[in-house]
Every structure is written in structure tokens, then in C-alpha cells.
A and B are shown apart, each in its own frame.
Chain A
Amino acid sequence: MKEIVKITIGLTLTCLIAAGIMGGVFIITAKAKKHNEYINFKENMLALLGYDHQKPAPESLQLCTVYRYLIHQPEQTSLGYMLPVKASDDSDDIQYQLVRVSTEGKFIDAFDLAIDSAQATDMGDRAKAMSAVLPEDVNNIVFGDQFIVATNNNKRLAFLLPGKSPGFKTHINFMMALNAEYGVIGLQVLEHQEDPGLGAEIEQEYFKNQFTGKDVERLKTLKVIKEPLPTEQLRFLERSKWQPDQYSEKEIDALQKKYQPKDICAITGATISTVAVVNGVKNVVTKFVYRVKILENIISQQNISVAF
């Protein structure tokens, strides 16, 4: 009996010490980890817009994030868009407004949120600010997704959409850039666990750049074909291997047009990963375009001075 008590106390103490060490390290590293994730996300966004270390983004470039929430009430469910709005016409200060939209796409109401742009990146702060203004019978607010609008000198450059798709092993996280007419500018694979040499080829330029230039109508019918990439197209797709002035602007446009109706060629030995990415892209873009059209309508009807 004495033995058991001794063992119990010993194990409990060991566990407590271990928990203390782990908790301490977690507290020390939590901030740096969050910061890393944010930097990584931002770098990927800038890379999609065509900026990198050699060509840094201009100061006037602004990234506005729109968050979409599902607001559950006992009788109905509505969508809540958290929009960044201009505080006044001549200043660059940003405030946030919550616009509620019914599932049929009708405007319900709008609230001003007491939240600043640093707090807006935090999920808990957003939920707090929203539940403060929403009516009392709202019982649940669920985060749906987000998209980012990149603007330069009050001109829209691109929509950036983060997306997720079940791949061969785990989820493939990717981000797309769409231009103002909802055509694909680029695709970036953020995180995946596919097999190296097979599924991991989705990171390669020759695969990602196949999406460039496809518009919404084309994406709706986009398929995966099991054909090898023609050498000519392969050379065009691998942009980092281009010699300086290998293609002129005109040639790039012409080739882009030529390959626009083409389907996506499956990666050898990784058809499942290819299909996963293609379906994810289709899904994200079609849903986004449907929603953003409704949202644009409401913004122009209600005269909301959005920051993008």
C-alpha cells in the first residue's frame, strides 16, 4: 500500500514538473510562432502579387481583409461580413463594419464595430466586438472564411483567397489571386503533406502556372486530363527558368490566350493530388464569385464607403 502511494505521488510530481516546463516554453514561444505564421502568410500574398525581395511592394499597397461569419439565430441563419470601411472620405484610417446579409442575398442591417485593425487579426477579439453589437437572440457566431483585397492607390489589384482541399494525405492549403474580372492571376500552395517526388510536385511552377489566365466560366468546366505537358508549354510555364527577354509581352499574352482553353495536365503518379487541387480551386473561386457579387450589390446599394 505504501508502495502504491509512493508511486502515485512520484508520477504526479513528475507530470506536474513536465507540464510546468512545457507550459513555460509555450508561453515564451507563442508570440514568435504567431508572428512567423503572419509573416509567412504575408510573404505568400506578396509573392502572388508579383513582389519579392528584388522588387519590394510599394508603400501605397494596402491589404484589406474581409471576414465572413455565419450568424445563427433561433429562427434564421444569416451571413455576417466584417468589412473594413474608411473612417472619413479624406483619411486613410480604417474602421470596421458588420453587414448582415440573409441567405437569399438580401441586406438585413449593418453595425459599426468598436475594433481597431490590430485587434481585427485576432479571432477572439473579433467575436467579442461582434457579439457586443448583435441582437441578444443570436446564439452562435461561426467563422466561415476570409478573403483579402489588395489595393494600390485606391485601385483594386487583386482578390486573394485562401483555400483548403482534402489531398492525398491531409489537407492542402493554398492561396489564389484573382484579378478584378475574377480571372486567375496565380496559385500558391502554402502547406501540404503529399509524397515528395509525386504529390509534392503541386508546388512546382509547371503545375501552378497552368491555372494562370483561366476565368470563372473556364474554371467551372475545368478538368484533369492524363496527357503529358507539351515541351513548348512546359517551357512557357517554368517562369523562373526563362532567359531575360525570352518572351516579349505580346508573346506572353498570345501564349496565355492559346493555353487558356486547355485543361490541367495531371502530374505523373499523382492524379489524386492534381484532382484535389483542381477541385479545391474550382470550389473556392465559384463560391467566392457568387458571394462577392451579392456583396458588391449591397455595398453599392447601401452606400458603404469600403476601404477597397
Chain B
Amino acid sequence: MLENNQSYGNIFLNGILNENPIFRLALSMCPAVGISTNMMNGLLMGIAVIFVQVCSSLTISLVKDFIHPRIRIPTYTLTIATWVTVTDLVLAAFFPVAYKSLGIFVRLIVVFCFITMRLDVFARKNSVFPSLIDALGMGFGFLLGMMAIGGVRELMGMGTLFGVDVLGFRPLLFFVLPCSGFFVVGFMMAIFNYTEIVYNRRKKARSFA
């Protein structure tokens, strides 16, 4: 069933490095900018997204033979919306602390484009287990990205990490403002791309030698 004979490890790493939803695909930028004001938000949001992505991917790969190709996008949206509602209700009922800080953002997961993209690109064409691995990889890629952005913004803006005072002062209040999200994402994207260029150049040099 697997395309190009990819191993499961590769599929998982693909979501984190090659096709990282935030830094490589530049999808779902609104949450990346809007919610990542501190590291805790990034972590909680990441976990919620992993849950929704895994459940939706599994559902779609299970019922992929019954989906009419013309209405596949509405079906994806409906699937994601169902799982997001489930997450929202479960969080509100059993994890009130997490729900308090995420609140309305959980409902935003419905419109995260990389989840829909993953369902269309991967889950529709593959069987259940590879879809699960892919969903986990994508989810973790998003979680790590959100935590990285959130960490930088929290440390620079408030001088804290996970709410614990690290620096003891506030370096630049500017970093918690919405606009700085774009700067941080931009810089991280640049670092990501630069690392890849350097890595490829070294690989090339090694293969010549």
C-alpha cells in the first residue's frame, strides 16, 4: 500500500522535518501566530491537534472506499468538525484547567488547513496504520513548531518559560504582541531553510569525496 516504499520511520519524520506544517508547508499560520504567546498554550494546542489529526486520519482511511470523490472536502470538514467538538466537550468536562487557557481556540482547529490537506493527500490513499503514523508525525511537527515559537515569544516577552520565571525581568514586551508572531515565524522558517541548504551541501560534498 505504501507509495515509494517509504518506511514507517520516514513517514513519521517527514511530518516533523521535510513537511513540517508550520515551517515548511507554511500552513495553519493563523494559529501559529495567534495562540503561540506562551509555551503552555503551544503544548496544549499541539496535543489537541494531534488527537484531532489522528482520529480524523483513522476515520477517513477506514471509510475511504465509501466517500464519493465529488464531496470529499465536505466530508473531511465534517469529520474534523465532529472530532473537534468531541475534543472541546471532553476538555471542558474533564480538563477544566486546560480548557480555561485554550477556550475558544480549540474550536479553531476545524479550519486548520494542514489537517484537511493530510486527509486528502495521505489518509485517502493509504491504509489505516500508515495513516496513523503520518498523522502522528504531522501532529508532532505542529506541536514542536508551536512550542518553539511559543518558547521564544514567552522567554523574550515575559521572561518566563511554562509560567516559571527564568530571566527575572522582561526583555522585550513587543514579543507577546500579535505582530511579533510573524517575525518569530519568519526567522524560524529562515533558520529551517538555511539548515537544510547547509545539510544538502555537505551531503553533496561527501558524495563527491
Contacts and interface: CB of A to CB of B under 8 A. Distances in A.
A269 B100 CA distance: 24
B78 A269 contact: no
A124 B116 CA distance: 41
A36 B96 contact: yes
A29 B94 contact: yes
A28 B93 CA distance: 9
Interface residues of B, number: 30
A10 interface: yes
B82 A18 contact: yes
B38 A29 contact: no
Given A7-B70, A32-B94, A198-B176, A193 B103 contact: yes
A33 B93 contact: yes
A25 B85 contact: yes
A26 B85 CA distance: 9
B82 A197 contact: no
Interface in A148-197: 191, 193, 195-197
A33 B92 contact: yes
Given A196-B38, A197-B37, A36 B93 contact: yes
| Main SS class of interface, A | helix
Q: Which of B67, B74, B81, B82 has the most CB of A within 10 A?
A: B82
Contacts of A22: 82, 85-86, 89
Contacts of B177: 195, 197-198
B78 A40 contact: no
Interface in B63-93: 66-68, 70-71, 74-75, 78-79, 81-82, 85-86, 89-90, 92-93
A140 to B, nearest CB: 31
Q: Which of A3, A7, A33 has the most CB of B within 10 A?
A: A33
